[in-house]
Structure 1
Amino acid sequence: MKESLFPAKILLFGEYGILKNYSGLSIPHNIYKGTLKIHSELNKDILCSNYEIKKFYNFLSILEKKKRILTKLDLNKLHQDIQKGIFFHSNIPQGYGVGSSGALVAAIYDKYAKNKLKGSFKHNIIILKKIFSQMESFFHGKSSGIDPLICYLNKPLLIRSKTDISIIGIPKKNEGKGAVFLLNSGAPSKSDTMIKFFLNKLKHDKFQKILFVEFIKYNEKCIEAFLKEDFKILFTNVKLLSTLIFNHFRFMISKNFWKIWKNGIFNNIYYLKLCGSGGGGFILGFTQNYNLSRIKLKKYTMEVLFRF
């Protein structure tokens, strides 16, 4: 069976905003990846993965019967492979906001789509996003489609709206004092619970104003500054984002991280923000002094994404 590897993803900016058609910046993260395999020997993880794919197959079959599916998949072949013991061999942590379900969706599409689209053209990217949004809704109830899109294309994406998505270049990594890093909370998140909480909060006018005015403004400035490598402007706005998230999205931050989140804001050593839906999993960190941040956060597992 030919193996195609699909990476994890990191949504640097745009958490929740992209669900409401605002900007985001997402990158593949090839430290974590997954591929479809036929088992040579059974164990608990393989059986669980195979069972999850079977449930996904049932979901796709229902869509096909109702003629609602947005792409043609060879579901007969998928069913045969499920019987043979197909599973998703992956080191992508589940529930950590780095696209474990997105990578699986990308892998299923890549292997079983009858008229597979490539991402060379902007028009195809938009169609793929719609397809992936529908497919990944099985896992989260509601999906933007961005995670599987990143995993499938393996390219950084700038999301301006649902119909304006482009492959872009990002700043090159170097060995400066600053860094963007992942902080491991030590516990997975339930994305569907976080998304439902967010959508319920949106019913309140005060929260809508916070999101659609302040959050979006800081988010846009962070994306622009990051792409221009203007780190002074970036850190000014990451601090504002971190503060806003702490004040208004605190339910989405693990309680044992409230203190270090607040310490970062007051000490200006590092700033933390959500990585994906929040509620656990990874947290994103931004610092202009990584060595000092590592000392301050020595109790926690840290993983560098960029140095600058």
Structure 2
Amino acid sequence: MNKECELFHGKLLLFGEYSVLLGSMALSIPFKMFKANFAFMSSNKSETEKKSNSELKKYFRYLLSNSDVFDSILNLSDLENDLKSGLFFDSSIPISYGVGSSGALCAAIYKRYGNMKECNEANLTDLKQSLSMLESGFHGKSSGLDPLISYVNKPILVSGNDKLDLVNLQLDKFLKNATVFLIDTQQKGDTAPLVNDFLLQCESIDFRTKIVEQLIPVSQNCINSFCNNDIDSFFESIQSLSSFQYQNFTNKIPYAYRTLWKTGLDSNKFCLKLCGSGGGGYLLGFTRNMKETEKFLSKMEFSYLRITSTSMG
């Protein structure tokens, strides 16, 4: 497949949102239900194509205004020429939904115009750093993990000291004993102010201590039990994670879905967590009994999307 048609997928940050900013483990996987690629505008130039081209030009101006940084990692002149020729990003990844729309775009830009063409486990950290700088133009601060997932198109485990490992997950085995689903909140979330709010909260010693002593350990327990297919341990950990987010990240949970979130905790039938930064987009759910969970969802008239092993990782 040539570069013009190369596909980039969305992502699911299964565990580690926010805490990864303070050095915790994180597990992120490609989400192949959504995809995107570069193309050039047709002679008819649809409104979608023109809007995407216009947005790319706006982002290019950001790159150009920081050319002292991006000149060293991108071929800006080639990008500019392609934009003049009608380059646009043809994407099915919903924007501001926590599934990596900006990450896929940054990955596509770097794959086509970046100075690092080879990707292996030895240079993942350097690649992540470059992608972090690119995505910071959208969110103010980016770990670089989202675009890295789209770039390598494989699950990545972030461990201590920002160590990165490509991992093979036995998703079929996990999904024989549990169901993963997404709930569409029908509203967009704005990542930058939510991340900035979290970083501001972390200036409080009490809040930062909660993150370090409570959130980070339980997130890491979720990751370890998920990767080892230890279902009992996983649901004990995800219950604790869901409870922590309900109590401490309330402003990141859309108001209309807080009752459903609490229902899951109280009934012990399912657990919800943020999918990305929250504030809208999708909520990520886990259950051992989807039939019972569907009763709650249908009663409260919430739409959901069941995730299969072919769309995860």
Q: TM-score range by the shorter chain?
A: over 0.9
Q: CA separation in 2, counterparts of 1:272 and 1:170?
A: 21
Superposed CA RMSD in Å reads 1.5
Could you say which residue in structure 1 is the equivalent of 2:60?
57
Question: Residues 209 and 306 from structure 1, CA distance in 2 versus in 1: closer, same or farther, beyond 3 angstroms?
Answer: farther
Q: CA separation in 2, counterparts of 1:274 and 1:169?
A: 23
Q: CA separation in 1, counterparts of 2:257 and 2:162?
A: 36
Structure 2 counterparts to residues 76-91 of structure 1, below 5 A:
76-91=77-92
Runs of 4+ in 1 over 4 A off after TM superposition: none
- Given the alignment of the two structures, is residue 221 of structure 1 paired with residue 221 of structure 2, yes or no? yes
Q: Which amino acid is the alignment partner of residue 59 of structure 2?
A: F
Q: Which amino acid is the alignment partner of residue 106 of structure 1?
A: A
Could you say which residue in structure 1 is the equivalent of 2:200?
200
Structure 2 counterparts to residues 67-106 of structure 1, below 5 A:
68-69=69-70, 71-106=72-107
Q: CA separation in 2, counterparts of 1:143 and 1:8?
A: 16
Structure 2 counterparts to residues 142-291 of structure 1, below 5 A:
142-161=141-160, 163-173=162-172, 176=176, 178-291=178-291
Question: Residues 18 and 71 from structure 1, CA distance in 2 versus in 1: closer, same or farther, beyond 3 angstroms?
Answer: farther
CA contact (8 A) 1:7 1:154 kept: yes
- Given the alignment of the two structures, is residue 34 of structure 1 paired with residue 40 of structure 2, yes or no? no
Q: CA separation in 2, counterparts of 1:70 and 1:242?
A: 42
Matched residue SS, 2:286: strand
Matched residue SS, 1:73: coil
CA contact (8 A) 2:177 2:231 kept: no
How far did 1:47 drift? 1.9
Q: CA separation in 2, counterparts of 1:120 and 1:250?
A: 39
When structure 1 is superposed on structure 2, of 177-186 and 240-249 the one drifting more is 177-186
How far did 1:107 drift? 0.5
CA contact (8 A) 1:70 1:131 kept: no
Q: CA separation in 2, counterparts of 1:161 and 1:138?
A: 26
CA contact (8 A) 2:179 2:290 kept: yes
Q: CA separation in 1, counterparts of 2:177 and 2:163?
A: 34
Q: CA separation in 2, counterparts of 1:162 and 1:45?
A: 42
Could you say which residue in structure 2 is the equivalent of 1:14?
16
How far did 1:42 drift? 1.9
Q: CA separation in 2, counterparts of 1:112 and 1:30?
A: 23
How far did 1:55 drift? 1.7
Give CA-to-partner distance per residue, 1:221-279, whole Å, 9 cap, x none. Answer: 00000000001000001011111100110000000001000000000110000000000
Question: Residues 161 and 60 from structure 1, CA distance in 2 versus in 1: closer, same or farther, beyond 3 angstroms?
Answer: farther
CA contact (8 A) 1:261 1:271 kept: yes
How far did 1:177 drift? 5.3
When structure 1 is superposed on structure 2, of 55-64 and 33-42 the one drifting more is 55-64
Q: CA separation in 2, counterparts of 1:302 and 1:162?
A: 36
Could you say which residue in structure 2 is the equivalent of 1:107?
108
Residue 300 of structure 1 is aligned with which of 299, 302, 311? 302
Q: Which amino acid is the alignment partner of residue 87 of structure 1?
A: F
Q: CA separation in 1, counterparts of 2:118 and 2:257?
A: 41
Q: Which amino acid is the alignment partner of residue 184 of structure 1?
A: D
Q: Which amino acid is the alignment partner of residue 35 of structure 1?
A: N
Give CA-to-partner distance per residue, 1:8-57, whole Å, 9 cap, x none. Answer: 00000000011112110000011101001101032332222111111221
How far did 1:103 drift? 0.2
Q: CA separation in 2, counterparts of 1:289 and 1:306?
A: 15
Q: Which amino acid is the alignment partner of residue 184 of structure 2?
A: N
Q: CA separation in 2, counterparts of 1:141 and 1:44?
A: 28
CA contact (8 A) 2:16 2:24 kept: yes
Q: TM-score, normalised by structure 1?
A: 0.94
- Given the alignment of the two structures, is residue 140 of structure 1 paired with residue 143 of structure 2, yes or no? no
Question: Residues 76 and 223 from structure 1, CA distance in 2 versus in 1: closer, same or farther, beyond 3 angstroms?
Answer: same
Could you say which residue in structure 2 is the equivalent of 1:125?
124
Matched residue SS, 1:130: helix
Q: Which amino acid is the alignment partner of residue 205 of structure 2?
A: D
Matched residue SS, 1:297: helix
How far did 1:306 drift? 4.6
Matched residue SS, 1:258: helix
Q: CA separation in 1, counterparts of 2:72 and 2:140?
A: 19
Matched residue SS, 2:171: coil
Q: TM-score, normalised by structure 2?
A: 0.93
Identity of aligned residues (%): 35
